[in-house]
Structure 1
């Protein structure tokens, strides 16, 4: 089968880039995805990480939606325990008003950062870590209710006050639940929400999570049937050798992340080749690489089709993780753009 294609973007920062360069490169990437017919373009939320500039999804969504014309733009996702539900509802109600029918609100429960940064975020959102995570289902429902045109009624001292995310909503963005565990799958099924399992990050437990979601799904106004797609780390190039070269910097970053090593901006390809992979981490790299889709256009397109067929989905969201060679224009990500172009042509 040939699945519909979408894009996930963490707004990576290379060792030769500033944050401004990384944002400009993502704007260019989104425009390429828009022109090629990709269905949606989601940006993640991560904080205090040297290689990731996607700290504020609503701001990035506004930038990207303003520079594209057709593609759906959304969050993959907003880490709701970091924020007051009303703030999230207001942000996405305003985005939907500005770009009606093109906004997705993907919501997650993970911290998206280190414990210290998470505490700083969540303390500012009105609670401490344990409270914010424990109240996640309540927060999700609050956001959904406040996005509705009628809003919600907030009772204070015996009086009910109307609370709306925006004064006159003409439409509301669809809400998706995101997760990498059984918890979010079960909650999405219970609430009748569309759901996405973080297959690109975990690579394990996908089948069980989707089965829990589909088996326990309760139809709702948000979705009449289980609605889901898969995410995948992807690098496509004209040759297998070039694709593997371009994937190496991100593989090295994931090794550091998984082993507690020092995090740094994404290396350029030449620098990554100089560093290489240590013998003690070769097994970890092989295990991760087996779950990535790296290679020539026809082969990767066929493998993504097989992934979609295996898990019974009609959409795959690709995270183009290719780095760049020395001398690349700082405000661009040519290898990431080429991944999208070659994959679209082969699909």
Structure 2
């Protein structure tokens, strides 16, 4: 079975370390991923997080492009609600001019942070004039088309090849939107692993895109033994906080849940603690699960989210998985 393997790293901050160490650990991971033959390496966008260091993915992307030579580097993803489509297109056109044929633009709808950081990011945005998500995708398409005859603002410099475009989502609505705008769909299985939702979303994307296969993002951790992998993943937790206005969001701890509610101005909230959905075990066991998902859904590429574990363990995991993938992917 042939499919591509790629990586997503959120630059988690190890206990006793700082953000600088986390970012350089991500750079080391990207360089090693290139050596091991992974197809893409993406970084995330999270704001005002004490446990995650990647707040400005486009800056980190530029650094990673300079530290590598052939692996594709991109965002998984830019949180589009905070920015103008023109600025996003301009930024990624510049990156693609620096590293032609290696830049991916992935975007998402989530805020990527707590209410105070969202308000700070959007302080200059007039809510009455704020474009909706679908319109922003259309605008980015226009700017990335690099048409010299276009009479509007041009997102220069125009690169030799445009960045590849990816929409991160986990719903039929996202699938249909991605297809209608000509964007690749990346199903966020690491955030929503419901099999029935996955099936419906994949089917909707294939129908709307004329038969294209989506990419599937999953969290995965490989170790030398199943027992050790289970122990490490078993210590991971997600806390879902539910606010009275119907809003719900996943955070990393009860303390973060309380802080999110405080920033949202809510005193009456509830939480649910869950173990995150992470493929775990030996590399051979994870390979079998990926093989089965490929067989069931025709997945052409998996983006494996490295869990928030110490840098040495994330590195070991991708090395073990690479050994298994040698017989899978050219």
Q: Same fold (TM over 0.5)?
A: yes
Which of the residues 229, 236, 258 maps onto 2:215? 229
Which of the residues 216, 238, 246 maps onto 2:208? 216
Alpha-carbon distance, 1:165 to partner: 1.0
Contact 2:93–2:158 (CA under 8 A) maintained in structure 1? no
Which of the residues 147, 158, 163 maps onto 1:173? 163
Matched, 1:127 2:126: yes
Structure 2: unaligned runs, 5 residues or longer:
242-249, 258-270, 326-330
Contact 1:247–1:322 (CA under 8 A) maintained in structure 2? no
Residue of structure 2 in register with 1:194 after alignment: 184
Contact 1:246–1:335 (CA under 8 A) maintained in structure 2? no
Alpha-carbon distance, 1:258 to partner: 5.5
Residue of structure 2 in register with 1:138 after alignment: 135
Alpha-carbon distance, 1:217 to partner: 2.0
Matched, 1:183 2:173: yes
Deviations 1:98-117 (A, max 9, x none): 00000011111121112232
Q: Which runs of 4+ in 1 moved over 6 A?
A: none
Contact 1:40–1:74 (CA under 8 A) maintained in structure 2? yes
Residue of structure 2 in register with 1:30 after alignment: 30
Contact 1:13–1:51 (CA under 8 A) maintained in structure 2? yes
CA spacing shift, 1:164–1:121, aligned 2, 3 Å: same
Alpha-carbon distance, 1:229 to partner: 1.0
Alpha-carbon distance, 1:15 to partner: 2.0
**CA-based RMSD:** 2.3
Which of the residues 256, 260, 283 maps onto 1:263? 256
- Matched length: 302
Alpha-carbon distance, 1:309 to partner: 1.9
Match runs of 1:24-173 below 5 Å: 24-124=24-124, 126-128=125-127, 132=130, 135-150=132-147, 153=150, 161-173=151-163
Give the whole-Å Cα distance in 1 for the aligned partners of 2:306 and 2:185. 21
Residue of structure 2 in register with 1:299 after alignment: 285
CA spacing shift, 1:107–1:31, aligned 2, 3 Å: same
| TM-score, normalised by the number of residues in structure 1 | 0.80
Contact 2:169–2:175 (CA under 8 A) maintained in structure 1? yes
Give the whole-Å Cα distance in 2 for the aligned partners of 1:111 and 1:152. 35
CA spacing shift, 1:69–1:334, aligned 2, 3 Å: same
Alpha-carbon distance, 1:227 to partner: 4.2
Contact 2:222–2:280 (CA under 8 A) maintained in structure 1? yes
Matched, 1:343 2:321: yes
Structure 1: unaligned runs, 5 residues or longer:
154-160, 219-224, 265-279, 325-332
Deviations 1:41-94 (A, max 9, x none): 111111112211111111011111111111100111111111011111111000
Residue of structure 1 in register with 2:247 after alignment: none
| TM-score, normalised by the number of residues in structure 2 | 0.84
Give the whole-Å Cα distance in 2 for the aligned partners of 1:242 and 1:164. 53
Deviations 1:244-277 (A, max 9, x none): 233244x22557845971139xxxxxxxxxxxxx
Give the whole-Å Cα distance in 2 for the aligned partners of 1:118 and 1:152. 36
